[in-house]
Amino acid sequence: MSTTNSRISRGLVIATLAFALVAAACSTSGGESTTTSLLPTTTEPVDYAGKEPAPEFPPDLDWINVDEPLTLESLKGKIVLLDFWSYGCLTCIEAFKDIDRLQEEFPEELVVITVHAGKFTNERETANIVAAVERNRISYPVVNDNEYTIWSSWGIQEWPSLILIDPAGNIVGGQTGTGFYDVVQPVVAGLAAQFAESIDRTPLPPAPEVPPRPDASLAFPGSVAVSASDLFIADSGNNRVLRVDKTTGEVLAAYGTGIAGLINGSGGEVQFDGPQGLVVSNDGSTLYVADTNNHVIRAIDLASGEVSTLAGTGEIGTTPAIALLDEVRLSYPWGLALRDGVLYVAMAGMDQIWIVDQTQNIALPAVGTSQQGNINGPLSQAQLAQPTGLAFSPDGLLYFADAQSSAIRWADTGNDAGRTGTVAGPPNDLQDYGDIDGIGGEVHLQHPTAVVWDIVAGQLIIADSYNSKLKTINVETFLTTTWIGDGAGFEDGEGATFWEPGGLAIDGRVLYVADTNNHAIRIVDIESGEVSTLVLTGLEKFPITS
């Protein structure tokens, strides 16, 4: 994910040197690294040591997962990897898999420092980063670079970006994008060998322990769905899906042990990993689940409780292509919607909307080129930016929350000559966001993630997640209006507040809200705007497996 932020210009000389050192030995393509160019091509010893000293961290920044701020001076004797990321960036989250591999392979030699430089204003608030760190199970030290000071000193231009610093405190090189393990690992191994006699193998103090959430509670619920009698909750942080009697609040079933994994079956063996989007089949017999971190779509038979994989292999997809359901590779599927028996998937990791057609046993892209952008046009030529929530209007128009473009857009998927358009948010821009009501392109949102159609009022209701607000959109006039919320908080009643709400489901004149960072499901009386919090009973019967 690239940025055009003007603050990247300072420190460009240092960054040019750093990235040139790696670029001289490797190349990148499409944001993913090649895997051979850093390997030595001769039998002569390779000098991996840097020449230029790394700039020190500035003082007075907030740190997470450490008892006190770290300095590069204090880390001399260690190989240091700086990871520049932003928590709303899925490629940044994917990059942690390679970082974890490196840390596991070099536990004594390597120290990982994650530099959080938030794209959005909301992402620069330390409290929100703390929640994201817990949600994504990140244990590395995190520094909140909320004014882009560290980012600028290195001349960073996109997320994710990595910098390697040798044990003498000198710059070795840098790398951008994901899939970098095969490029970076030989360099770390070379540094570990070259500095073997001087490396400080003393481990950093462990991260302060985060008190575990009570068993009988939700953890970062990401989505909700309703049937005639039940409410379904993607209890994302607990890696499970709950079935709740929507009248009494009694938890009737929990699908998933709480351990992140990909296991089908029933009872206590089933595993999910960060499930998000939910939708109930038209006949009410099946719940479809976007099992986001597993890169699959799951199906729960609501009569038997049996969980199966509908689409995906469990391996992340990088090249979008039509494939059979048991062979297709998906990438961070998020929101789900059904239309005429066909399942539509917001494929956030590929910046596309896909179709899963069970009758033909295939999955294929329906909207978007897979190049991230905010450009409308014919369905196959449009550019999307991490679409998340989906909702159909009665006339068959598909509306979607395009999170990274901070826009609510539409796609005419029922038309062979269909196109995309925008109902709220500036077009052709990935950097223009904010919190401004208005009409069409004058509207500014901040990373919206959910959208539902209110059939009675004939309008959209959206979760403007990073503004912690619910808003309405008149699709005839394109007027967007703040409805409920006034900054992050947790208050019920008429002046209710939310904290990064992530999912919506409408049931007559009741709106259910997955209030993600408040670990709660909120209930909104649509007519009065009154908000209450759902009280779950019986959740203690379904303890989390640790």
Q: Residue 335 pLDDT more than 50? A: yes
Same domain as 145, residue 258: no
What is the CATH classification number for the domain harbouring 154? 3.40.30.10
Which of 195, 229, 248 delimits the end of a domain? Answer: 195
Give the model's pLDDT for residue 206.
Answer: 83
Q: Residue 441 pLDDT more than 60? A: yes
How many C-beta neighbours within 10 Å does residue 277 have?
Answer: 27
Give me the domain span that covers residue 154. 52-195
Give the model's pLDDT for residue 523.
Answer: 98
Please indicate, yes or no, if residue 96 is contained in any of the structural domains.
yes
Extended beta strands in 292-397, E state: 296-301, 307-311, 323-324, 333-339, 342-347, 352-357, 362-367, 387-392
Report the first-to-last Cα separation within the chain, whole angstroms.
34
Give the model's pLDDT for residue 42.
Answer: 52
Give the model's pLDDT for residue 268.
Answer: 84
Which of 160, 195, 230 delimits the end of a domain? Answer: 195
pLDDT band at 372 (very low <50, low <70, confident <90, very high): very high
Q: Residue 209 pLDDT more than 80? A: no
Please indicate, yes or no, if residue 423 is contained in any of the structural domains.
yes
Same domain as 235, residue 103: no
Q: Residue 195 pLDDT more than 70? A: yes
Please indicate, yes or no, if residue 180 is contained in any of the structural domains.
yes
Same domain as 435, residue 325: yes
Same domain as 466, residue 421: yes
147, 28 in Cβ contact below 8 A? no
What is the CATH classification number for the domain harbouring 511? 2.120.10.30
Q: pLDDT tens across 135-177, in order?
A: 999 999 999 999 999 999 999 999 999 999 999 999 999 999 9
Same domain as 190, residue 228: no
Please indicate, yes or no, if residue 331 is contained in any of the structural domains.
yes
Q: pLDDT tens across 301-315, in order?
A: 999 999 999 999 999
163, 171 in Cβ contact below 8 A? yes
Q: pLDDT tens across 109-122, in order?
A: 999 999 999 999 99
pLDDT band at 12 (very low <50, low <70, confident <90, very high): very low
Same domain as 489, residue 348: yes
CA 189 to CA 48: how far, in whole Å? 10
Strand partners, 511: 506, 524
Tell me, what amino acid is at 289? V
Give the model's pLDDT for residue 43.
Answer: 57
pLDDT band at 4 (very low <50, low <70, confident <90, very high): very low
Please, is 113 exposed, middle or buried when counting C-beta atoms within 10 Å of its C-beta (0-12, 13-18, 19+)? Answer: buried
Q: What percent of the chain has pLDDT over 70?
A: 92
CA 391 to CA 2: how far, in whole Å? 29
Query: What would the 3-class secondary structure string for 117-166 be?
Result: CCCCHHHHCHHHHHHHHHHCCCCCCEEECCCCHHHHHHCCCECCEEEEEC
| pTM, entire model | 0.92
Same domain as 467, residue 329: yes
How many structural domains does the chain have?
A: 2
224, 512 in Cβ contact below 8 A? yes
Please indicate, yes or no, if residue 360 is contained in any of the structural domains.
yes
133, 142 in Cβ contact below 8 A? yes
Q: Residue 22 pLDDT more than 60? A: no
Please indicate, yes or no, if residue 13 is contained in any of the structural domains.
no
Helices (H) and strands (E) in the chain, counts: 5, 34
Which long-range contacts does 308-317 make (Cβ < 8 Å, 24+ apart)? 308/264, 309/262, 309/264, 310/343, 310/356, 310/358, 311/356, 311/363, 314/262, 316/94, 316/349, 317/349, 317/350
Q: Residue 36 pLDDT more than 50? A: no
Same domain as 432, residue 536: yes
Please indicate, yes or no, if residue 457 is contained in any of the structural domains.
yes
Q: What percent of the chain has pLDDT over 90?
A: 87
Same domain as 347, residue 243: yes
CA distances from 178 to 85, 95, 125, 130, 159 (A): 12, 5, 25, 23, 10
Same domain as 372, residue 250: yes
Q: Residue 5 pLDDT more than 50? A: no
Give the model's pLDDT for residue 30.
Answer: 34
Q: Residue 339 pLDDT more than 80? A: yes
Q: pLDDT tens across 42-93, in order?
A: 557 899 999 999 999 999 999 999 999 999 999 999 999 999 999 999 999 9
Please indicate, yes or no, if residue 380 is contained in any of the structural domains.
yes
Which of 150, 179, 195 delimits the end of a domain? Answer: 195
Choose between 127 and 205: higher pLDDT: 127
Same domain as 166, residue 69: yes
Q: Is the peptide bond before 45 cis (omega within 30 degrees of 0)?
A: no
Mean pLDDT of the chain: 91
Same domain as 236, residue 175: no
CA 323 to CA 380: how far, in whole Å? 17
Q: pLDDT tens across 240-297, in order?
A: 999 999 999 999 999 999 999 999 999 789 999 999 999 999 999 999 999 999 999 9
